[in-house]
Amino acid sequence: MSNNINQALRETLRPEGLEHLEALNNLFGYEPPSDGGEECYWIALAKLGSDNSTIISSKYEGIKIGDIVLLFDSETKTCSGSSKVNSVSKVNDQIMIVLTKEVSFDTPISFETIKINSIISNDCKKIIADLEGSINA
């Protein structure tokens, strides 16, 4: 039974986002699988919590355990590595994401680096510009 649900989650519900998974949780008391699915890659602009591993986001966008996040520090606008999503939970209207550092960069990468680097796609540059605009606004 558990395997069937796993399969169903992977094939149909996962892209729909966390709310569906939570509904399933309530129904079956079932924890979403943390591995075996396709991981997604995210860029975040935030300040880590005092535990140095937690960020709070106001939007549900389908982030799940096992996904990878490039976290840019909102003060320095630099990213010193990539992290794996360890857990995702809802707190009131916000979502709390606990990260574990996976890859450490020798030289932190800044927003500006990405914006002027021709190897990076225009889509990614636009995302960065939007994020930057959101903190400058």
Partner 1 sequence: MPKISVDDYNTIVKMAKMPKRVNVQPDNVKGFLDSSFVVSDSVLGQICAALNSGNHIILSGPPGTGKTTIAQAVAMAARGVEPIMTTATADWTTFDTVGGYMPDLASSSPNALTFETGIILQSMIDRRWIIVDEINRAPIDKAIGQLFTVLSGGDVLLPFRNIKTCNRLKVVSDNFFSSEDVFSRSDDWRMIATMNEYDKNALFDLSYAFMRRFAIIRIGLPDKYDEVVVNWATEAKVDASIISNLQEITASYMASREIGPAIFKSIIAYITERTKMGTDYGLYYAESLAIYLVPQLQGIDEEAVHEITTVVKKCFSGNYDAEKFFADNVYAITGYRVA
Beta-bridged to residue 54, according to DSSP, are 98
Residue 97 DSSP label:
E
Q: What is the separation of C-alpha 19 from the centre of its chain, rounded to a whole number of angstroms? A: 15
Buried-exposed string 112-123: b where 16+ CB fall within 10 A, e elsewhere: eebeeeeeeeee
Phi/psi of residue 55, nearest 5 degrees: -125, 150
Number of residues interacting with partner 1: please give it, by CB under 8 A: 37
From the list 1-9, 13-21, 27-35, 101-109, the region that binds partner 1 by CB under 8 A is 101-109
From the list 6-14, 17-25, 29-37, 108-116, the region that binds partner 1 by CB under 8 A is 108-116
54 touches partner 1 (CB under 8 A): no
35 touches partner 1 (CB under 8 A): no
107 touches partner 1 (CB under 8 A): yes
Q: How far is the CB of 114 from partner 1 (least distance, A)?
A: 7
Question: CA distances (Å), 83 to each of 10, 104, 106, 111, 124, in order?
Answer: 22, 9, 15, 17, 18
From the list 7-15, 17-25, 28-36, 74-82, the region that binds partner 1 by CB under 8 A is 74-82
Q: Is 136 helix (H, G, I), strand (E, B) or coil?
A: helix
108 touches partner 1 (CB under 8 A): yes
Task: Give the interface with partner 1 as residue ranges (CB under 8 A).
Answer: 40-44, 57, 59, 61, 63, 68-70, 79, 81-82, 103, 105-110, 112-121, 123-124, 127, 130-131
